């Protein structure tokens, strides 16, 4: 997995919200794993406080693990 280089926001600058399956009507691309989030799935939307237009949708597990990702090739 690649580090989310396109997600340069500190946690304190981001509001997160759970998206319920009935609210999820589109397919989103998760920045954590670069896989699609299918419609009707429970996920998280993360909204930078100072750049709300850059909000992204994440799988819950990817959001939880965003700090625990190791650089590729390192152990």
Residues near Zn ion (CB under 5 A) are 30, 32-33, 59, 62
Enclosing H/E stretch for 13: none
Q: How far is the CB of 3 from Zn ion (least distance, A)?
A: 13
Nearer to Zn ion, 56 or 59 (CB): 59
Check if the beta carbon of residue 36 is closer than 8 Å to that of residue 30: yes
Nearer to Zn ion, 19 or 32 (CB): 32
Nearer to Zn ion, 15 or 64 (CB): 64
Say which residue the tokens 């090739």 belong to: 73
User: For the chain, what's the residue count?
Assistant: 75
């Amino acid at each position: 997995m690649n580090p989310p280089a396109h997600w340069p926001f500190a946690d304190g600058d981001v509001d997160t919200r759970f998206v319920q399956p009935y609210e999820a009507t589109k397919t989103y691309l998760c920045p954590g794993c670069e896989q699609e989030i299918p419609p009707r799935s429970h996920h998280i939307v993360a909204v930078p406080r100072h750049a709300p237009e850059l909000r992204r949708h994440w799988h819950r597990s990817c959001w939880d693990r965003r700090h625990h990702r190791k650089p590729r090739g390192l152990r």
